[in-house]
Amino acid sequence: MRFVSFVFVVLFAATLSFDAIANKTYVSHSLNGHTLTVVHSEGKIDITALHDNAFEIRPLANPFVRADFPSFAKDPKQNYRPKLKVINSKSSLAFSTNTLKVTIDKASMQLSYFKNEQHLLSEESGFLALMRCKVFGLSWMKLNA
């Protein structure tokens, strides 16, 4: 009887986990100036092109990142505005400058980075899934060597 109860609990937990994963979906995106805002059922992120060679990724509505917290990545005197391109496909978004590109998987919100079309690194899991594991904005990344 204990075994049957244990199996029932495991199956119930697995069903809840699968249902929670299945309900995580891309909602929308918008480009405002040099910032791409991506809205997902799990949260929202801003990706700002600071230069041809630099993006700033900022999670919004996150307990670790306050909206009024200043960005240390931005130079307030910077006047350079890179040329931007956004490509929206069925399964992903691509946000790029002349040199760098970040792709966002719509289902998992996994971010992947490319320089001159060469893959640099990707997150093991989606960006928003890692927010529960983040400490001071650091995430686990997988480097493509």
Q: What is the CATH number of the domain that holds 84?
A: 2.60.40.1760
In a domain, 4, yes or no: no
Which of 88-92, 107-111, 132-136 bottoms out in mean pLDDT, i.e. has the lowest?
132-136
Q: Is residue 17 part of a domain?
A: no
pLDDT category at 15 given cuts 50, 70, 90 is: very low
Of the pLDDT bands very low, low, confident and very high (cuts 50, 70, 90), residue 76 is: confident
pTM of the prediction? 0.69
Q: Which helix (H) or strand (E) holds 51?
A: strand 43-51
Domain residue limits at 95? 25-143
Provide the pLDDT for residue 116. 94
Contact present, 66 and 59 (Cβ < 8 Å): no
**Tally of structural domains, the chain:** 1
Q: Say what the pLDDT of residue 59 is.
A: 81
Q: Among residues 82, 83, 59, which one has the least CA distance to residue 71?
A: 59
User: Does the residue 14 lie in any domain?
Assistant: no
Does 110 map to a domain? yes
Question: Is 2 within a domain?
Answer: no
Q: Which residue has the higher pLDDT, 112 or 70?
A: 112
Q: Answer whether residue 12 is part of any domain.
A: no
